[in-house]
Structure 1
Amino acid sequence: MFPFSFLLRWLFPDPPLLLQDLRKQVAPLLKSFQGEIDALSKRSKEAEAAFLNVYKRLIDVPDPVPALDLGQQLQLKVQRLHDIETENQKLRETLEEYNKEFAEVKNQEVTIKALKEKIREYEQTLKNQAETIALEKEQKLQNDFAEKERKLQETQMSTTSKLEEAEHKVQSLQTALEKTRTELFDLKTKYDEEITAK
């Protein structure tokens, strides 16, 4: 423990009573401070001991990297074997299908003829589907064009009607303006006559 009494004597050499009072007041604080330091030291030692204990246990554990690498290699091999087995199963199924087909079709010419017929049917089907789609598209385009043309005509009619209405309003306003001007001119003339008469 730090000799605080020496420090206090050095700071306060003259008043011994003040020093005694100060010692009484500081003593509990110093005791509490020393207790904290002791507790911290104890915790530090316990933490070091725990760390050493964990370290000793970990140092004896073998390096897991080779085992993990080996496990990964084995997993890849198992996956590859599984893939190969799946592929073999598919090949077996395909081979069985081919064997059935070869058993059903004994003559190669018959097979070629049947395949050609299928191709012709597919081509005809595709041609029919293409024509149907083209007709549907053409019909849709015609309908869309007719609808757009109808809307355009409606818009033109509406615009023409609005234009005629606006022209009519302009004409009415022009007439009203002329009438107002005439009335204003008549009023001014009367006013001038009255002023002249006065």
Structure 2
Amino acid sequence: MDTPQGGSDPVESNPSSSSVFIVSNFWKELDLEKEKSLLDGQGLRIAENLENSQKNRRKLARVQEVLFSPTYFKKASAEEKLRLFNSLLKGYQEEIDNLTKRAKFGENTFLNIYQKLYEAPDPYPGLASITEVVSEGMKKELQTRPTEKLVEGLRKKVKILQVKLSEKISLLETDDGKIRELTEKVNEQQKLIQKLEDDILKGYSSKEWKGTLFDDWDISESTGNELSEEIRQLKEKIRAQTADLEKTKTDNVKLYGKIPGL
């Protein structure tokens, strides 16, 4: 069936995708875990053959040492020498056979691995293309998502700061009004106290004077002691209002310090 004009297999049209597909398919069919298990068994067998070969060679070396020792060679009979010589010859022949089998087994193992690795596609192009795709994706993600989150976070912070700033400005305005009010009250009462003390020192005691001067304080006919008590209480009130005024000013200064840019 002809391929429609203008269309193509995405795998064939993209060499990187094709490389990834080939590498993935090869290693899937190879079954690396199975091959590793086979290689483990072959490696153990090679190690056992090597150990057995070393044992046989040491045994043959001891027999040869006995056979060709001057003492044994003079004392042993011809038949005994022949028997020992045949045993030594047979041992060497067996060892040669074992060495041949070992060499053949090792060669087959190597060729099997070599053939599979020789047929294996180079994984680097496919891995490089995957790495490039992942890297580009990460770059795009770092360029977009963090920026959006950062902007959104900054917007929320600005809104919170605007609300806090509005609240602090409102508090400042309220406190400024309170300060002015308290200041006026304190100044007014201090003036009245000073006037009252001055008048008392001058000896004013007429009923008409009291009625006009003390209407705001509800001071009626009273003795000198009662008037002094009235003054004392009024002074205490002024001190309390002054302390409240100073506290309000201190809080106001702290509030100003917390507003950015002020």
The TM-score, its normalising length taken from structure 2, stands at: 0.31
Which protein has the bigger helix share?
1
What TM-score do the two structures reach when normalised by structure 1?
A: 0.40
Which structure would you say has the larger RCO, counting Cα contacts within 8 Å and 6 or more residues apart? 2
